[in-house]
Structure 1
Amino acid sequence: MSAEEYVWREHIVRRLREKRKGCEGFKEIIIQNNRLIDHVAQLKSDNLKLSVENEQLRNAVSTGGTGPNVAMVTLEKKLLAQQEELTELHKRKGENSQMIVDLNVKVEQQKKLLVEKEHSLYEQQTVNNRLRAEVQLLHCSLEELKKLNTTLLDEHTALQLAFSSLEDKMRSVQDENRCLLERIMRYKSKDADKLNEENESIIRKRSAKLKRDLEDAVREPNSLNNQTVPASSGTPLHRNSTSPAQFVGSLVSDDDFDEASINGAMEALGLDEDEYINARFSAGEAMHEATRASIDTLKASGYLGQPNPTKILMKFEAHENESHAVRWSPVERMVATGGADRKVKLWDVGKGLTEPRAVLSGSSAGINSVDFDSTGAYILGTSNDYGARVWTVMDNRLRHTLTGHSGKVMAAKYVQEPIKVVTGSHDRTLKIWDLRSIACIETKFAGSSCNDLCTTDSLGSTIISGHYDKKIRFWDIRTEKQADDVLMPAKITSLDLSKDCNYLICSVRDDTIKLLDLRKNQVISTFANEHFKISCDFARATFNSSAVKIACGSADGTIFIWNVNGFLETTLKGHRNDYDLNIFRSTAVNAVSWSPNSNSLASVGKSKRCIIYSDS
């Protein structure tokens, strides 16, 4: 059987089935018609029987049968019955006719409905065909977009490879530059050594000459009796009136320790070179002992009378999962925390409640940092969903959502309150946002993932950012220029700025905290301990309100508090033990925050808990 024959046979069968379906509306009419036909046949049969009987009766009458009156009466009764039956039949016939009319009306209605259905079916088929054409066009467009996306991916891969090669070249150039700098430093050191040798030779010659002059003076009579300091020194001093160490320590300080001072002191005391050096050493030892005693006094008093927050004021479960960020409100006794459960929570510390004052939602991934504006009216949070959000503290509403980064956003700060915000991301960029238009107005390309940032003043003219490539970068938003970078020994996890904007602390992944003087852009102190380990790439260190103490959490659950002078004041171990389960479990501390209005410290970590420390 050919394919064409099979097609038309299928078409005929389909049309017959459709015709059969179309007869369903006439089924009742056909049944009623069949009943009427059967009833008419039955009536015809009865009529025939009655006609036969009537004929028989007539024959009987005509033949003069017995009882003609009785037969007539019987016939009349039968005739009357037949007439009544005929009347009933006529009545039924009229009813059947009316029923047929009604059924015809229904048939017409069904035909109209069928026409409407066919028309609607035609329209639906037309719409279906149009939608199929649109789907086909969309499929073609999708294929074109896939091809375009593949092309863009290839271009992106090529650009990424080119960027990687350029980055490798940059690193090689930086290494070469570092090597050149080291060589220059070595050459300068050699030059300095030569200069020192020349100076030492000159000093030795002058010392030899001085010794000869002293020997000549000793040979003269009464040369050393009652010797005094020359009148130009201002105060007479007999040699035996005080010890050489005391006199040398008072006469020549470290600030004016030069050759002229040495010669003047030696002439004044009548000492040779060895005696003079011993006197200076004794004076230095005395000054060192005094300095050490003052440092011990500071340690005992907690540095200028400020006690450390060693008592646990509150301990509560802050989030369902790991807690990443904590920050005090600048105007209230309130703490904001952010965690991996995608929520920012506000806690009233002053009331001592363990239930959150508010839960700020809207993020679709974990929170990395939280921060208040200077008035405490707005709270700024960053997230792993490549965005940052601004909530109002008064009504706990989400006001702005800042999206545009292609990597997780690690930090955000207000630049010009309350209209501008700067964000730092792992996509190697910093973005400045205008909250009035909710748009990015400037993008700074750092070349490395940003882990934290801060601004230097209320106008936010300078932005400081810490990066994965071990550099601290300085950005002036008023100009396109970038200040010199400061290189750290390892990648940077956090930054915090003192209130006077003169000092910056930087937590580094080599388990140290660096203190920088921003007036010189130099590291002036390093804080470390054999038990101190940075817990993660976003671990936060912080100044207290007076910028005399530094706090940072460790990977073993301990919080270390240093004095800016360099010594460790105390350690807090509230995160180390889980007393509810009666087991010892070390949990890393991710972030700490000092209260700006009191000597209180808040900390969060991987144990989900937030702990508030106080000094009373």
Structure 2
Amino acid sequence: MTSFECNWRDSILAQLRERNRNETQLFQDLITQHNKVFENSNRLHAENLQLSIRNEKLKSEGGGSHSANDLRLQDKVQQLEQKLLANAEELTQLHRRKGENAQQIIDLNVLLQEKDKAIASKDITLAENACRITSLQAEVSMLEQANKELRYLNDTLRDEHQALQLAFSSIEEKLRKIQDENRQLVERLIKYKAKDADRMNEENDNFLRNRYKRMQKEIEEACRETRGISPEQLVEGAGPLYQFTLPTKVVVKYDAHESEISAVKWNPVERFLATGGADRKLKLWDISKGTSESKGTLVGSNAGVMAVDFDSSGTLILGASNDYATRVWTVNDQRLRHTLTGHSGKVMAAKFLGEASKVVTGSHDRTLKIWDLKSRACIETKFAGSSCNDVVTVDSAGSIIISGHFDKSIRFWDSRSESSADNIVLNGKVTSLDLTKDAKYLVCCVRDDTLKLLDLRMNQVVTVFSCDGFKVSCDWDRATFSPDGQYVAVGSSDGSVYIFGVASAKVEKVLKEHTAAVTATAWCPIATYLASVDRSKKTVIWSDNVI
């Protein structure tokens, strides 16, 4: 038994003794008086019996004589009877008081039993509390031990963090030095390339000058020998003028991706195209030999690629992705050069903004962002107020940007100001935009199953293209102008490709080969080829003749 248990038992025993002493002291006088009354009553009762016996004896001995002694005896008897009556009354009162005292004693016994029960319950509670205190003390000791371990672990982690911070600072310093060295190397490379370009330009100028002189001489000689033939027919290397014709047949058909294809774009200087799909890949395809030959797969995107664009030289390619980022690769070595992150929603559109060092992107987060690839940072954010599905740039300097939005609006932005310059509201969500080469006309694909032709000189719709059977398949369905700006190609949800004439505002050709909804089309800028992609991973190349 512990000292704690002995202490509380002694304390309870002392309290019980104190309570008994206090409660007994209150009734001590009452008990004493009660005992005296009982003794008095017993004594008077005995005297009464003796007097009764003597009275009977006197009656039997007297025989009815009325002597003086008898009279005295009668007086004495009367006195005794009166005294007996008084004693009887007193005895009655004492019995009454005895009953009251007995009732009080019963009540006190009941109260005492209740107190005993309360003390027993308190004893149980004290025992439970003692057990609980013991368990809590054990828990406190465990928690103190755990706290010590956590402090030790925290100190260890703090030391590791400091070590990692020092290592990070060192690595960051090395990275900064490497970046500085890389910047210097790039500057030197640019200088060398500039020198090479100047030397090549000088050689080209000399070559063209010599060639011009030789051609002039040959023309003069031909003029002396031949009369009546136009000089243009005698210029060396002069062929027939390029004449655009509508595609009529399938020349290449292949599975470009593992799932749905969302974007397609031709290289501006070479005869190959790029496709982006939901399989998170951007692929390059060479179709110059009449077959689909893969030129490479550009990886790095963490979600589906929604838009593709080449720079004007065809050396850089960018892809907008559903992972909230846009990436830039170099075409020759197919290496990822830049990752532009900052949007909080899917990036649906991306274009090079004039020069190859700037990019504009449009996103579901209702913003447009302009990026500088040299600093790899966003240099401007334009708040459109609605999800952006496509963007185009009007001039080569990239000063005017046009964006199409979910709220059925086309917004015009001046890159030199923050707010949009003008808005045009159409009858449906805008899925795509495309410009003619002279930037005078803009075609908009709208979810009301129409194409709208806008004259940018008047900022108004001048032609609406629609026909039976043509249905816009999705919110990123891409319609494109032909290189001469005389036709517009767009895919339909039934797998057909519709070609509308700009001048006639009618359907000039319907190409049927796809079995799923066509999501995007693209005209080759250097030949009469049309590419179309669908949601069942097919890419089809159309032309008017075999490649």
Is 1:130 aligned with 2:152?
A: yes
Deviations 1:411-435 (A, max 9, x none): 1111131211100000000000010
Is 1:589 aligned with 2:525?
A: no
Is 1:605 aligned with 2:544?
A: no
Cα distance in structure 1, aligned partners of 2:291 and 2:337: 27
Q: Write the letter of the residue equivalent to 1:553.
A: G
Deviations 1:7-60 (A, max 9, x none): xxxxxxxxxxxxxxxxxxxxxxxxxxxxxxxxxxxxxxxxxxxxxxxxxxxxxx
Q: Write the letter of the residue equivalent to 1:567.
A: K
Query: In structure 2, what is the equivalent of residue 615 of structure 1?
Result: 544
Cα distance in structure 2, aligned partners of 1:515 and 1:550: 10
Query: In structure 1, what is the equivalent of residue 344 of structure 2?
Result: 406
Query: In structure 2, what is the equivalent of residue 575 of structure 1?
Result: 514
Cα distance in structure 2, aligned partners of 1:318 and 1:466: 28
The offset of 1:310, in angstroms, is 1.3
Cα distance in structure 1, aligned partners of 2:245 and 2:292: 26
Contact 2:482 2:488 in 1 (8 A): yes
Choose from 545, 553, 558 the match for 2:483: 545
Choose from 367, 380, 384 the match for 2:318: 380
Query: In structure 1, what is the equivalent of residue 473 of structure 2?
Result: 535
Is 1:450 aligned with 2:405?
A: no
Deviations 1:193-228 (A, max 9, x none): xxxxxxxxxxxxxxxxxxxxxxxxxxxxxxxxxxxx
Query: In structure 1, what is the equivalent of residue 407 of structure 2?
Result: 469
Contact 2:358 2:373 in 1 (8 A): yes
Cα distance in structure 1, aligned partners of 2:357 and 2:374: 6
Q: TM-score, normalised by structure 1?
A: 0.50
Q: Write the letter of the residue equivalent to 2:496.
A: T
The count of residues paired between Structure 1 and Structure 2 equals 321
Is 1:323 aligned with 2:261?
A: yes
Query: In structure 1, what is the equivalent of residue 26 of structure 2?
Result: none
Query: In structure 1, what is the equivalent of residue 176 of structure 2?
Result: none
Choose from 367, 373, 386 the match for 1:429: 367
Cα distance in structure 2, aligned partners of 1:402 and 1:382: 9
Contact 2:366 2:384 in 1 (8 A): yes
Deviations 1:357-415 (A, max 9, x none): 10000000000010100100000100000000000001000000000000000011111
Cα distance in structure 2, aligned partners of 1:359 and 1:352: 20
Query: In structure 1, what is the equivalent of residue 377 of structure 2?
Result: 439
Contact 2:317 2:329 in 1 (8 A): yes
Query: In structure 2, what is the equivalent of residue 492 of structure 1?
Result: 430
Deviations 1:132-155 (A, max 9, x none): 46779xxxxxxxxxxxxxxxxxxx
Q: TM-score, normalised by structure 2?
A: 0.56
Q: Write the letter of the residue equivalent to 1:608.
A: K
Is 1:361 aligned with 2:299?
A: yes
Contact 2:382 2:418 in 1 (8 A): no
Cα distance in structure 2, aligned partners of 1:593 and 1:551: 8
Query: In structure 2, what is the equivalent of residue 248 of structure 1?
Result: none
Cα distance in structure 2, aligned partners of 1:536 and 1:314: 25
Q: Secondary structure at the match of 2:402?
A: strand
The offset of 1:593, in angstroms, is 0.2
Identity of aligned residues (%): 58
Deviations 1:520-578 (A, max 9, x none): 001000000110000100000000000000000000000000100201111001103xx
Q: Write the letter of the residue equivalent to 1:589.
A: V
Q: Let me know the Cα RMSD of the aligned residues.
A: 2.4
Q: Write the letter of the residue equivalent to 2:355.
A: E
Contact 1:411 1:424 in 2 (8 A): yes
Q: Secondary structure at the match of 2:422?
A: coil
Contact 1:454 1:496 in 2 (8 A): yes
Contact 1:423 1:431 in 2 (8 A): yes
Contact 2:354 2:395 in 1 (8 A): no
The residue correspondences of 1:51-70 to structure 2 (distance < 5 A) are none
Cα distance in structure 2, aligned partners of 1:404 and 1:128: 38
Cα distance in structure 1, aligned partners of 2:358 and 2:292: 34
By relative contact order (CA 8 Å, sep 6+), the higher-ranking structure is 2
Cα distance in structure 1, aligned partners of 2:543 and 2:354: 33
Cα distance in structure 2, aligned partners of 1:428 and 1:134: 46
Contact 1:415 1:459 in 2 (8 A): yes
- Structure 2 residue ranges without an equivalent (≥5): 5-146, 159-241
**Segments ≥4 residues shifted beyond 4 Å:** 125-129, 132-136
Contact 1:422 1:431 in 2 (8 A): yes
The offset of 1:353, in angstroms, is 3.8
The offset of 1:126, in angstroms, is 9.0
The residue correspondences of 1:239-318 to structure 2 (distance < 5 A) are 306-318=244-256
Q: Write the letter of the residue equivalent to 1:523.
A: V
Cα distance in structure 1, aligned partners of 2:350 and 2:301: 15
Say if 1:569 and 1:460 are closer, same or farther in 2 by CA, change over 3 A: same
Q: Secondary structure at the match of 1:356?
A: strand
Cα distance in structure 2, aligned partners of 1:512 and 1:502: 20
Higher Cα radius of gyration: 2
Q: Secondary structure at the match of 2:294?
A: coil
The offset of 1:479, in angstroms, is 2.7
Contact 1:347 1:353 in 2 (8 A): no
Cα distance in structure 1, aligned partners of 2:149 and 2:268: 63
Query: In structure 1, what is the equivalent of residue 455 of structure 2?
Result: 517
Q: Secondary structure at the match of 2:420?
A: coil
Cα distance in structure 2, aligned partners of 1:330 and 1:126: 69
The residue correspondences of 1:93-112 to structure 2 (distance < 5 A) are none
Q: Write the letter of the residue equivalent to 1:601.
A: L
Query: In structure 2, what is the equivalent of residue 350 of structure 1?
Result: 288
Q: Write the letter of the residue equivalent to 2:373.
A: L
Contact 1:368 1:409 in 2 (8 A): yes
Q: Secondary structure at the match of 1:486?
A: strand
Contact 2:354 2:393 in 1 (8 A): no
Contact 1:369 1:410 in 2 (8 A): yes
Contact 2:413 2:422 in 1 (8 A): no
The offset of 1:305, in angstroms, is 6.9
Contact 1:410 1:425 in 2 (8 A): yes
Query: In structure 2, what is the equivalent of residue 417 of structure 1?
Result: 355
Deviations 1:331-363 (A, max 9, x none): 011010000000000000113343411000000
Query: In structure 1, what is the equivalent of residue 498 of structure 2?
Result: 560
